[in-house]
Amino acid sequence: MVRIRHFEFLCRSMHIDPTVNRFRVFYQLHCSQGFYSFAQRSSAKKILLTPPKSFHEWKPKFFFIKSGVIPMKMTFRGTEDIVVENMKTLESEIWYQDLKDIPSVELPERALVVAGMSLHWKMDHEDKPVYIKDDRIVSLYVVAYKREKGKMTTIPKGAGEELWFQQIIRNFARPRDEDLAAQPSTGVGKFILNFLIDIAILRFAVFMRGVILQYFFLNRRVD
């Protein structure tokens, strides 16, 4: 996720469309011990300086999903060999030349709003966020270097320009009205119902276990 977020931020801060094919120019899908990640392609230039080597406390963020609530058959992956792709280096293309290398840092929320990667912005806000340094607007990728005298601020939107929220919301996939109005496919309700029944049974079993233990504990005290 770090490489994906970094790539999208870098592209959007330089007004480059962050497509999947462009991402694949720099990274190759990699699988190790059942876990998937993206590895840097040796033929492409590095755009992520000091990539993270490990993440601590990641296990509590994992969770399990009961297969019954997924209305399709899913095959467990993690054992197959990943075919190494020979991607053509696009050194002659302008977008490839324009991408800068920036370090891996925790980006402020306002910077993600400017890049169109966060909706943490009021829908009716008339101003738009920018990054300035020495009283002039500079490219957003400079935020990653945390240079002095640089800061996030807002400026009035131009005449006839859309609200900033309306501009950035196009970057997010949202369910359409017709999707929400459509009825679920046959069988989905049965899976969900079975899942809810399993939860109810589990909670009841835990409750009865507590009642039984309390009963025996009280009887022992009486004896």
Instruction: Give the pLDDT of residue 8.
Output: 92
Between residues 166 and 218, the one the model is more confident about: 166
In angstroms, the CA 10 to CA 141 distance is 6
Average pLDDT on 75-79 reads: 62
- Between 183 and 87, the more confident residue is 87
φ/ψ region of 172 (left if φ > 0, alpha if ψ in -120 to 50, else beta) reads beta
Question: How far is Cα 171 from Cα 122, in angstroms, rounded to an integer?
Answer: 16
β-pairing, 102-103 vs 35-40, is unpaired
Burial class (CB in 10 A: 0-12, 13-18, 19+), 44: middle
Share of the chain above pLDDT 90, in %: 15
Phi and psi for 139 in degrees, rounded to 5? Answer: -60, 145
**Tokens linked to 142:** 């400079």
* Residue indicated by tokens 């997924």: 70
Place 188 in a pLDDT band, splitting at 50, 70 and 90: low
The mean pLDDT of 196-201, rounded to a whole number, is 70
Q: Are 14 and 66 in contact (CB under 8 A)?
A: no
pLDDT reported for residue 29? 85
Higher pLDDT, 125 or 215: 125
Mean per-residue pLDDT over the chain, rounded: 78
Which of 121 and 185 is assigned the larger pLDDT?
Answer: 121
- Condensed to tens digits (0 to 9), the pLDDT of residues 46-64 reads 888 877 666 666 667 676 7
pLDDT at 222: 46
Q: What is the pLDDT of residues 126-155, one digit of tens each?
A: 999 988 888 888 888 888 887 667 788 899
CA atoms within 13 A on the CB side of 136: 3
Q: Which of 161-165, 198-202, 212-216 has the highest mean pLDDT?
A: 161-165
The mean per-residue pLDDT over the stretch 15-38 comes to 86
Instruction: Name the residue with higher pLDDT: 89 or 187.
Output: 89
Which pLDDT value is given to residue 23? 92
Q: How high is the pLDDT of residue 151? A: 85
28, 38 contact by CB (below 8 A) = yes
The three-state secondary structure class of 52 is coil
The DSSP symbol for 154 reads E
Closest CA to 3 of 55, 66, 81: 55
